[in-house]
Chains A and B, each alone.
Chain A
Amino acid sequence: MRRMTADVVVIGGGSTGSGIVRDCAMRGFSAILVERGDLAHGTSARYHGLLHSGGRYVVSDPESAHECAEENDIIQRIHADAVEATGGFFISLQGDDLDYADRWVEGAITAHLPFQEISVAELFRREPRINRRAVRVMEVKDASVDGWQMTWGAVRSAQQYGAQILTYTQVTGFEVDQGQLKAVQCLDRKTGEDLVIDTPFAINASGPWAGQISALAGCQPVEVVPGRGVMVAMAHRLVNSACNRLIKPGDGDLVVPAHTVCIIGTTDVKVDDPDDLAMPRNEVQQMLDAGEVLVPGFRQSRAMRAWAGARPLVKDSRVASSDTRHMSRGMSILDHQSRDGISGVLTISGGKLTTYRLMAKNIVDVMCEQLNDPRPCRTDSEAVPGSESGRTYSVTHRLAEREADRLRDPIICECELMSRQMFIDLLADIAEPSLDDLRRQLRLGMGPCQGGFCSLRAAGLTCQIGHFSPDRATAALRLFLKNRWIGLWPVLYGDQLRQAALDNWIMAGTLNVERLPQSEEEVL
């Protein structure tokens, strides 16, 4: 058993937890973040990639809209390398409720949301594939944000301020003595070793898993209703700005460009278990139909992949629990001292990725109050490592980089232009990574071929440089291909089915990967 000590333990390595650990560290607390899997491998990356301008909420919740607008500016500044400043549009189509557009304009003015109405001709000039039935268009500051990149940026900043980040570390229990938290018990899932962190304070930021974690502390049940959202990524940027329908927010009313693809989202279905997110065909079909409304010809375009995320909504007795969209989208902070008589434990849930920094500030403020140790938040004033220049992400940046180094550095993943050196550098940085851990930071295998060519090269490289045994490299390759299939098969039609046939000719036909001997090592 290993022992560590900290002022505060943050549970959950999504955007919220990463923001909290950064905030704590910047305020001078010694902080440890524990995450069951890899950073941002849950809800924070399984979403549509929109950095909200606030436009989506101006009618239903102007306060939320205002918060989004403010945070949007801050995120673009402190996380420049994770944000592509695409801009966005809210578009009324013929047949839409035009009163809603008027109410939207009023709401935007009330919320102090920067916007301007532009002509339909201007919209078509900038987004030629948008439905020609557009009648009114509002331009807003929506942007596209990479959830992994943003979370990693926050974590790297936290590390610079002395925080420790423990991934693949699962919370197994809490030591509470006379109503006061004493320690958080964990399991290192990679080594199997137990870990106890002596700490007077823990913040539960595990999102849809918040109920499971608070139960371990012996709290009264925290009812989290995971709302499953299915998203579909198309293999091209059918739009270059975030394109929203100017209607009451609903399913699939939004297409967001992200890197070389674009994403349509999303559905909203109440589920029981955030670890078991199916992608039913009818929901995929619903997204394709919705895409067709915004971008005619959507169904003829190549779908690349689908995924499902679980919204971390805290149950609110005021609304029917089957309708998660109308629950509060704001954050909830549960104080387990007043609620359950356990001091030193807070749970945060709900909220939006766009406002992750503000949520972190709010809960760390609560912690400071409880500790009677007021320290100001500084997270809005400093860019995270990698974003110091203030230059936002550009989709062509890797093309420029590969143009510069192509004669000396082989390209391992052609779809995403990932070089050999990028892969080797990160490999040296992570203890016992899976290929998916590397993928989340490098985009390995995330393009149209979904690993058909690059996964063999990546597995081979881990082995060639002596980092993995052949046994482990093979296990990693198998796991990677299996995980790619999860998001592929729900949208396997058209050209992506054609690609899958080619990939099978390679993996099964030429290489006979399926008949390799089983590995003894297990890759998490």
Chain B
Amino acid sequence: MSRAIVIGAGLGGLASAIRLARQGLDTTLISQGLGGLQLSQGTIDILGYDPEPVTDPLAAAGRLAPPHPYAVIGSAPVAAGVDWLSQLLGPELLVGQTSANTWLPTAVGALRPTALVQPSMVAGAVQAEAAWAIVGLSRLKDFSAALVAGNLNRTELPGGGRLRCRPLVIDLMARAGEADSSGLVFARALDRPEVQDRLIAALGPELAEGESVGLPAVLGLEDLTVYDRLAQALGRPVFEIPLPPPSVPGLRLNQALLALAKAAGVRFVNGAAVVGFEAAADRVTAVMTAAAGHPRSYPGEVFVYAPGGFESGALAMDSYYQVKETVFDLPLHGLDDVEQLITGDYAAPQAIFAVGLGVDAAMRPVDLSGNVVYENLHAVGSILAGAIPWHEKSGEGIALGSAWAATQAIQEELK
């Protein structure tokens, strides 16, 4: 039996499990799938818009009012959580600071603010009059160099001025005979020096004086220095632009955190959906997973619930428009105006996606009057009510801030 049970293998769950294990708690992490990092852009967002573009994300996060989760978490735990991760992973995976956003290009040619980035993305921080060759790979369908370069060219930069982008397309075979390779297949291929050499040879003659090179984020999955090797060989800065899932930068973070969690002694139960729980009085005593033959029980002393929101199925709406938290049936916040949860206005943020759990300062779910539901159950990440993280670019900040706050509270509790 583990003392701590963590549910969910996204950033919030992994961070919580590592922290609890390093506090000396025997920890088990249960997850139904691979976790959300592979769906992410692979950078650490804190706050990009409030709704205006944000320059100092930590300061802006500190100004948000309830019901935004940052108003409960507080900016100190957010800073502590992000700094902790940054030190944990080191500069070979994450660089940047919590007090300044960097604007990076996206795979549709928009600009996007984020706080900490992977070193392979640093040279993509926008700068007026920078000359960029945006390089597409003809066998990779998720990145159109012409669209990315064209949209970047018609964008006024946040500090004024414009970029000068030029699209290029290179034919690089990632897997023999295949015209349609995923980003992940390209990344695995580019872990190999032979494929890197082919890319360098194809790209070199096409580049103009003074151009940096922007490529889709497929520059190696295991080897974190591929971008640097290309930069050396091409004699110019090279940067990656994140793609839709499966996200190679997200998987890099995922792999590093998994290795750290295993090294810290976290026990993993994968492919197991948590389907129920047991409680005695005001404490959760065990969670149940769906397993072959019969449900399996995982007893514990403290529980960290970091399952994601609607995207993972942790929150669900049925055909009668009833919304539920699917494991513990916890009270949901943000359901005040049920008729307006989903509207026909595509451009407007949909209130349904801000529905979730309300928590106290220890990240324990509370009912609508603010009473803690279970003394030893803590909620982390995008299941928290009050924010639409994809819209305001706050997903990782909320995950890390709430994971920090929850694990600090647990440490106090178990002293």
User: Given A457-B141, A459-B147, A501-B310 in contact, is the A509-B155 Cβ separation under 8 Å?
Assistant: no
B-contacting residues, A480-524, CB 8 Å: 481-482, 485-486, 489, 492-494, 497-498, 500-502, 504-506, 508-517
Task: Report the Cα distance A501→B315, complex, angstroms.
Answer: 11
> From B317, which residue of chain A is reached at the shortest CB distance?
A493
> B344 is contacted by which of A473, A485, A509, A513 (Cβ under 8 Å)?
A485
B-contacting residues, A400-419, CB 8 Å: 406-412
Task: Report the Cα distance A516→B342, complex, angstroms.
Answer: 24
Q: Is B247 an interface residue (CB 8 A)?
A: yes
> B319 is contacted by which of A288, A411, A477 (Cβ under 8 Å)?
A288
**Is B317 in contact with A497, judged by CB distance below 8 angstroms?**
yes
Q: Is A460 an interface residue (CB 8 A)?
A: yes
Task: Report the Cα distance A509→B48, complex, angstroms.
Answer: 11
Task: Report the Cα distance A81→B38, complex, angstroms.
Answer: 41
**Is A456 in contact with B142, judged by CB distance below 8 angstroms?**
yes
Task: Report the Cα distance A473→B177, complex, angstroms.
Answer: 30
Task: Report the Cα distance A494→B321, complex, angstroms.
Answer: 9
> A512 is contacted by which of B106, B136, B145, B180 (Cβ under 8 Å)?
B106
Q: Is B244 an interface residue (CB 8 A)?
A: yes
User: Given A473-B147, A515-B110 in contact, is the A494-B141 Cβ separation under 8 Å?
Assistant: no
Task: Please count how many residues in chain B sit with their CB below 8 Å of the partner chain's CB atoms.
Answer: 61
> From B136, which residue of chain A is reached at the shortest CB distance?
A464
User: Given A457-B142, A493-B319, A494-B318 in contact, is the A510-B40 Cβ separation under 8 Å?
Assistant: yes
Q: Is A370 an interface residue (CB 8 A)?
A: no
> From B104, which residue of chain A is reached at the shortest CB distance?
A512
**Is B144 in contact with A511, judged by CB distance below 8 angstroms?**
no
**Is B179 in contact with A515, judged by CB distance below 8 angstroms?**
no
0/1 string, B96-113, CB within 8 A of A gives 1: 000000000011111110
Q: Which of chain A's residues have a CB closer than 8 A to the CB of B397?
A: none
User: Given A498-B310, A512-B112, A514-B347 in contact, is the A464-B316 Cβ separation under 8 Å?
Assistant: no
User: Given A288-B319, A510-B107 in contact, is the A504-B151 Cβ separation under 8 Å?
Assistant: no
> From B242, which residue of chain A is reached at the shortest CB distance?
A510
> B309 is contacted by which of A299, A473, A501, A512 (Cβ under 8 Å)?
A501
**Is B244 in contact with A506, judged by CB distance below 8 angstroms?**
yes
Q: Which of chain A's residues have a CB closer than 8 A to the CB of B39?
A: 502, 505-506
Q: Which of chain B's residues have a CB closer than 8 A to the CB of A494?
A: 316-319
Q: Which of chain B's residues have a CB closer than 8 A to the CB of A444?
A: none
**Is A456 in contact with B180, judged by CB distance below 8 angstroms?**
no
> A509 is contacted by which of B180, B243, B389 (Cβ under 8 Å)?
B389
Q: Which of chain B's residues have a CB closer than 8 A to the CB of A482?
A: 346-347
* Min distance, Cβ B357 to any Cβ of chain A, angstroms: 16
Q: Is B245 an interface residue (CB 8 A)?
A: yes
The secondary-structure label for the interface of chain A is helix
> From B322, which residue of chain A is reached at the shortest CB distance?
A493
Task: Report the Cα distance A493→B156, complex, angstroms.
Answer: 38
0/1 string, A274-290, CB within 8 A of B gives 1: 00000001000100100
Q: Which of chain A's residues have a CB closer than 8 A to the CB of B245?
A: 506, 510
Task: Report the Cα distance A501→B388, complex, angstroms.
Answer: 10
Task: Report the Cα distance A182→B176, complex, angstroms.
Answer: 65
0/1 string, B188-200, CB within 8 A of A gives 1: 0000000000000
Task: Report the Cα distance A501→B109, complex, angstroms.
Answer: 22
User: Given A460-B143, A460-B147, A497-B352 in contact, is the A509-B390 Cβ separation under 8 Å?
Assistant: yes
Task: Report the Cα distance A456→B216, complex, angstroms.
Answer: 14
> B110 is contacted by which of A299, A486, A493, A511 (Cβ under 8 Å)?
A511
Q: Is B67 an interface residue (CB 8 A)?
A: no
Q: Which of chain B's residues have a CB closer than 8 A to the CB of A456?
A: 107-108, 142, 244
**Is A497 in contact with B146, judged by CB distance below 8 angstroms?**
no
Q: Can you list 8 A-B contacts with CB-CB less than 8 angstroms, sorted by A residue number?
A: A300-B319, A406-B179, A469-B150, A470-B149, A485-B344, A493-B318, A505-B40, A509-B40
What are the 7 A-B residue pairs with the smallest beta carbon separation, nearest first? Answer: A470-B150, A460-B144, A509-B390, A410-B180, A501-B311, A485-B346, A501-B310
